[in-house]
Amino acid sequence: MRPPSVFVRPLLHEEAVRLKRLSRRARHECTRQRASVLLASNVRMPVPQIAQMWHSDPSWVRKVIHEFNERGMDSLHPRYRGGRPRRITTDQRQRIVSVAGARPDAQGVPLTRWSLPRLAVHLGGEGIEVSARHLGTLLAQAGLSFQRTRTWKASPDPDYAEKAARILALCDSRRKMGPS
């Protein structure tokens, strides 16, 4: 025995007009699709035919119709609930920002600047497991940015400053004379 068809409840004139407008000009595609499903059900189109028209599942069409019958126009805006729960709490985020903003040597780490991988390892020791990539995202949201650490070597020559000044002066005088 076939289950009885599900149809939308009788629509008020204002609801029908609004659904027709939303089926054409709603901001989100899902709202346009839901409004169209309800209008099709209003003219007694059976659920399997509506599902075929939208290349969808009949159970989804029934769900849209049942939600509209229960909640009215509010059902056109689905109650999306966001995916995976956050692994890092607000307190942990604040701790990450405070550690990243302070110098490592002030926290007992023998470095002058944090790199993202080293900061991630240090935070892991404090019980906050976070990848270097996600750490960069968290710090960017907090207004902090990290660049790659650069190193350089200074000359061990005791007369380096004097020689460098003489070379720079020669280059400067050559620039004033013009091209040769």
Q: pLDDT per residue over 118-141, tens digit each?
A: 999 999 999 999 999 999 999 999
Q: What is the 3-state secondary structure (H, E, C) of the chain?
A: CCCCCCCCCCCCHHHHHHHHHHHHHCCCHHHHHHHHHHHHHHCCCCHHHHHHHCCCCHHHHHHHHHHHHHHHHHHHCCCCCCCCCCCCCHHHHHHHHHHHHCCHHHHCCCCCCCCHHHHHHHHHHCCCCCCHHHHHHHHHHCCCCCCCCCCCCCCCCCCHHHHHHHHHHHHHHHHHHCCC
Please give the share of the chain, as a percent, with pLDDT higher than 70. 92
Q: What is the mean pLDDT of the chain?
A: 87
Map out the domains of the chain as residue ranges.
13-76, 90-141
pLDDT at residue 91 greater than cutoff 90: yes
Q: pLDDT per residue over 51-85, tens digit each?
A: 999 899 999 999 999 999 998 888 888 766 777 88
Cα distance between residue 22 and residue 36, in whole Å: 8
Q: Considering only CA atoms, give the Rg of the chain.
A: 33
| pTM, 2 dp | 0.46
